[in-house]
Structure 1
Amino acid sequence: MEVKEVKPPSGYGKPPWVFRGSALYQLHLVKAETARAFVPKEFKLVEAFGYTLGGFFLASYDDSPVGIFDEAVGLPSQAARFSKQRITAIPRQSESKANGFLGMIGVGTAFNKPMNCLDIQVTEVKGPVATDICTISVGTAALAKAVPEPNLNKLTGPVINMSLPSFSGRTEYNPHLLKYSCQIECRIRAVHPAKVSGLPVKPKNDTEQSPEQQSSNFVDSMTRELGENERNLSISVMLSKPILALEFNCLKMQVGAPIIVFPCSKNTSRSC
């Protein structure tokens, strides 16, 4: 394995880069054949019975080297627009004795029936083209503000510190596989998983076309299908079965400068 430091990108200041805000980290059971498309060939995929762990990281940053922004980490990366719609629900008292007890200690409502939720429409933006990807319905206190700010710390769980590796690269802009050190300090608690819904597939156009139009459209469709295949794989990960959702409040994330883990050969394609 070759490890080599990479010159930090200009315009972002000196590393480590600090991000502050809140996030939802959701683990899913993902089919191994789906996940394998995102794993570089240098890495071995850990799987059992045809499945592995995947998921997504949905974050809302109040402060960062590039200002305020949202992100949903799923491969491949692409600029996107996040359209948010807040939904307020009237809490209904459950007849269950167990839920009644949880409500008395202030846990039942926060975990199972959040008073507010947030529908987030994720739209991929590539030049002048905008493509709707999915809708994420979040009911957590951090992202949906289900409780008033003064009472937020009562429901946000213990403070933890952890170190996580982060990978990027293998794109047309940077063919190398890059690794970042990521130090996270936050309050953490288990929450109800967010609901992810995909979008219906648009019907194909069967109108008659000239040979020239068919040839041009064939090239365009092949290029589009490659992008759609990557997009569909990402959506399939998000639509897989959730098994654990963790809410990160009072998040402070420090990201170190990237290093090259595996260089990409000049004689290979971007998928090397």
Structure 2
Amino acid sequence: MGGGYQKPPWKFSGRALYQLHLVKTSEAKKFIPSSLKMVECFGYTLGGLYLARYEDSPVGKFDEAVVLAGLIWNPPTSCAWASRVYVSDVVARDHGIKSVGLPSALATFHESPRALSAKCKPRKRCWWKGDDEQADSEGSGEILLSVSNGRKQSPVCKMAVPRSTMAGPGFTMRLPSFSGKTDLIPELLRYSLEMKARIRLSAPIKISSTQESNDDPMDRDQAVCRLLAKRPLVTIAFDHLHMLVDAPEEVGPSQTPPARGSKYSPA
């Protein structure tokens, strides 16, 4: 068990799936602050889903799902904007909200096995299960993602995850990320993360809405997940993932893009 988020960089290890989706700009705008400039083409922007199962982190084992509504531009970089972050650990949730400016929510990731079809090869482990877990005859698992509100569990969406396959070649990359623009942290923040993993193309995560509730705040959660209901462009698996995350820094006023409809002139 980890000792909590102390001095950065914060270390994570485990595995993750990252898939990219084309999202209609008109839909993405509902979940991205209007003061941020969106990267778009022919009425679409680039969103996606990041699904991770960490075996070790500052708080030990936990699961995470990040819904990315679209791509934003803040010179000289652009990156996907996290419109909702679901984590299975309360300390990770609080750290995301208070320290990183993320719209984090406490959630449960409940796995229900899905039987193999006749075309699937037997003895293939569900990606959600680690190498140290017992292999079985399940071809893939279905994860029910639910928001935790005290003792109440409010279903958000279902995610059918692919089977596990052989890991790909090693790869290292450093990615910039933006956050903030929340009630608690109104400033735009920027942080970077370094990822080392063995990467490969993967079968997609199939996302479906539960459509079981119309009460707030579920409307927003279900709407965010519905952005990703269509077939993704590509899904990438990060096996044997090791990640270092730096502390966020405030983006200066001269780098903050103007709000839509405002007149902007450099200082």
Same fold (TM over 0.5): yes
Residue 55 of structure 2 aligns with which residue?
Answer: 62
State the partner residue of 1:120.
143
Q: 2:37 aligns with which of 35, 38, 44?
A: 44
Identity across matched positions, percent:
39
> How far does the alpha carbon of each residue in 1:50-85 deviate from its partner, in whole angstroms, 9 at most, with x for none?
111101100000000011000100223311111012
**161, 185, 192: which one pairs with 1:138?**
161
Q: TM-score with structure 2 length normalisation?
A: 0.68
After superposition, the C-alpha distances for 1:138-196 in whole angstroms (9 at most, x for unaligned) are 0141xxxxx6xxxxxxx211111111122322333333322221100001111111111
> Structure 1 segments of 4 or more deviating over 6 A?
none
Partner of 2:185 in structure 1?
174
TM-score, normalised by the number of residues in structure 1: 0.67
Cα distance, 1:140–1:93 mapped onto 2, change above 3 Å: closer
CA contact (8 A) 1:178 1:262 kept: no
Q: Is contact 1:30–1:241 with CA below 8 Å preserved after alignment?
A: no
Corresponding residue of 1:105:
none
**As a proportion of its length, which structure holds more helix?**
1
1:260 is aligned to 250
**TM superposition shift of 1:93:** 7.4
Aligned to 2:12, which of 11, 19, 24?
19
Larger Rg computed on CA atoms: 1
| Residue 82 of structure 1 pairs with residue 109 of structure 2 | yes
2:226 to 202, 212, 236: 236
Q: How far apart are the structure 2 equivalents of 1:128 and 1:175?
A: 30
Matching residue's letter, 2:250: I
How many corresponding residue pairs? 203
Task: Give 1:237 deviation, angstroms.
Answer: 1.9
> How many Å apart are 1:91 and its aligned residue?
5.9
Residue type of the alignment partner of 1:130: Q
Across the aligned residues of Structure 1 and Structure 2, the Cα RMSD in angstroms comes to 2.6
1:190 alignment partner, one of 201, 208, 213: 201
The SS at the match of 2:26 is helix
**Which structure dedicates a bigger proportion of its chain to strand?**
2
Cα 1:241–1:29 shift into 2, 3 Å: farther
Q: 2:61 & 2:190 partners in 1: Cα distance?
A: 24
